[in-house]
Structure 1
Amino acid sequence: MFKKWFGKQQPKEETITAPLDGTIMRLEDVPDPVFAQNMMGDGEIIQLFPTKHAIGLRSEAGVELLIHVGIDTVSMNGEGFTAYVRAGDRVKRGDRLLSVDLPLVREKAKSAVTPIIITNGDALESLEREAEASAKKGETVLFHVNMK
Structure 2
Amino acid sequence: MLKNLFKTKKELEVKAPLEGKVIPLAEVPDPVFAEKMMGDGLAIIPAGGKVVSPVDGELVQIFPTKHALGFRTRQGVELLLHIGLDTVMMKGEGFRVYVEEGTKVEAGQLLLEFSLELVEEKAKSPITPLVITNGEAVEELELHLAEQAIPGETVLMNVRGK
- Relative to the length of structure 2, the TM-score reads 0.83
How big is the shift at 1:54?
0.1
In structure 2, the partner of 1:70 is: 84
Q: What do the CA deviations read for 1:4-27 (whole angstroms, capped 9, x no partner)? A: xxxxx8921100110111111110
Question: What amino acid sits opposite 1:55 in the alignment?
Answer: L
Q: What residue ranges of structure 1 are gaps of 5+ in the alignment?
A: 1-8
Secondary structure of the residue that 2:79 maps to in structure 1? strand
In structure 1, the partner of 2:15 is: 17
Once the two structures are superposed, the pairs formed by residues 22-41 of structure 1 within 5 Å of their partners are 22-41=20-39
Q: What residue ranges of structure 2 are gaps of 5+ in the alignment?
A: 1-5, 40-55
Question: What amino acid sits opposite 1:117 in the alignment?
Answer: V
In structure 2, the partner of 1:107 is: 121
In structure 1, the partner of 2:105 is: 91
Q: What do the CA deviations read for 1:74-104 (whole angstroms, capped 9, x no partner)? A: 0000000011122111111121111110000
Secondary structure of the residue that 2:80 maps to in structure 1? strand
In structure 1, the partner of 2:53 is: none
Select the residue among 134, 138, 141 that pairs with 2:152: 138
Question: What amino acid sits opposite 2:148 in the alignment?
Answer: S
Once the two structures are superposed, the pairs formed by residues 38-57 of structure 1 within 5 Å of their partners are 38-41=36-39, 42-57=56-71
Secondary structure of the residue that 2:18 maps to in structure 1? coil
Q: What do the CA deviations read for 1:19-73 (whole angstroms, capped 9, x no partner)? A: 1111111101101111111110210011100000000001121111100000000
Q: CA RMSD in A?
A: 1.3
Distance in 2, Cα, partners of 1:94 & 1:135: 13
Contact kept in structure 1, 2:24 and 2:145, CA below 8 Å: no
Residue identity over aligned pairs, in percent, reads 55
Query: Which runs of at least 4 in structure 1 moved beyond 3 Å after TM superposition?
Result: none
Larger of the two Rg values belongs to structure? 1
Distance in 2, Cα, partners of 1:130 & 1:26: 9
